[in-house]
Amino acid sequence: MSRRDALLLRVAAVWTVVIWAVFVKNQLGDATHSVGFKVVHLSIAAVSVAFAAVIWRIASRSARRASERETAGTAS
C-alpha cells in the first residue's frame, strides 16, 4: 500500500471517530430519544470506533512496511 493510500485510511479513521464522538455527545444530552435508541446507537458507535482503530493499525503497519522497502531499495 502506498503512503498516500495509508494516509487516506488514517484520515477516514479519524473522521469516523470525530463523527461518532459528536453523535455520542449529542445523544447523551438528548431527552427526546428512548433508552433503546440510545443503546443501539451507542453500540454502533463503539463498533465503528473499533473498526477505525483497526483501520488505523493496518494503515500504519502497511506504511511502515512500504517505508522499510524503500529504505532497503536505496541501501542496495
pLDDT tens for 1-58 read 778 888 899 999 999 999 999 999 999 888 899 989 999 999 999 999 999 999 999 9
75: pLDDT strictly greater than 70:
no
- The pLDDT, as a whole number, for residue 10 is 94
- For residues 58 and 7, the answer to whether their CB atoms sit within 8 Å is no
Q: Given a cut of 80, is residue 67 above it in pLDDT?
A: no
The angle formed by the CA atoms of residues 51, 33 and 27, to the nearest 5 degrees, is 45
CA–CA gap between residue 73 and residue 23 (Å, rounded): 45
Q: Which of residues 69 and 44 earns the better pLDDT score?
A: 44
The amino acid at residue 74 is T
pLDDT for res 43: 96
- For residue 47, give its domain range: 3-75
Give how many domains the chain has, as a whole number: 1
